[in-house]
């Protein structure tokens, strides 16, 4: 073979090798960029969900505190037309909704703790406690269990 053919073949081999390497580098770069975008989207979704969870926790704790105030101020006798009943009914309905939303957004252990607290609070508000029992002491264990479970999930 003549020298020109060898030069042409070597040149063609260089072009093929350079093109192949360029393709591999571009392909790798594209895959890396796609992976980085997926991670960014996953992080944004995770942060949005965390924000939603914090709002739900705040709502549940706030309405729970209102319900506890209703339990503390519970009259020994009341009618369906009393101001205490009307206010408390509204508060307990909002607490019921907040507890259900906890079930939707959180793992079951958090909901189970919220449910136990809700049931204790509901019982305390509507039925009262035997004489000598403290509302605060009666609700404390399940309230703290709920808060601890929520903190574990929120990190």
Tell me how many degrees the CA angle 35-37-41 measures, rounded to the nearest 5: 120
* DSSP category for residue 106: S
| Model pLDDT for residues 10-35, shown as the tens digit of each residue | 887 888 888 888 888 888 988 888 89
pLDDT at 1: 62
Q: What CA–CA distance (Å, rounded) separates 94 from 97?
A: 5
Q: What CA–CA distance (Å, rounded) separates 106 from 10?
A: 65
| Model pLDDT for residues 61-71, shown as the tens digit of each residue | 999 999 999 99
pLDDT at 150: 96
Contacts of 109 (CB under 8 A, 6+ apart): 149, 153
pLDDT at 132: 82
């Amino acid at each position: 073979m003549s020298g020109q053919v060898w030069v042409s073949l070597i040149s063609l081999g260089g072009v093929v090798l350079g093109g192949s390497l360029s393709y591999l580098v571009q392909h790798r770069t594209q895959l890396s960029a796609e992976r980085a975008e997926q991670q960014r989207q996953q992080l944004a979704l995770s942060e949005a969900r965390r924000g939603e969870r914090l709002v739900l926790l705040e709502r549940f704790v706030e309405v729970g505190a209102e319900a506890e105030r209703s339990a503390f101020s519970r009259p020994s006798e009341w009618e369906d037309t009393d101001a205490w009943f009307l206010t408390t009914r509204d508060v307990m309905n909002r607490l019921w909704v907040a507890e259900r939303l906890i079930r939707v957004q959180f793992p079951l252990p958090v909901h189970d703790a919220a449910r136990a607290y809700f049931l204790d609070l509901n019982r305390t508000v509507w039925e009262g406690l035997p004489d000598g029992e403290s509302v605060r002491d009666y609700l404390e264990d399940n309230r703290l269990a709920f808060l601890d479970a929520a903190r574990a999930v929120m990190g």
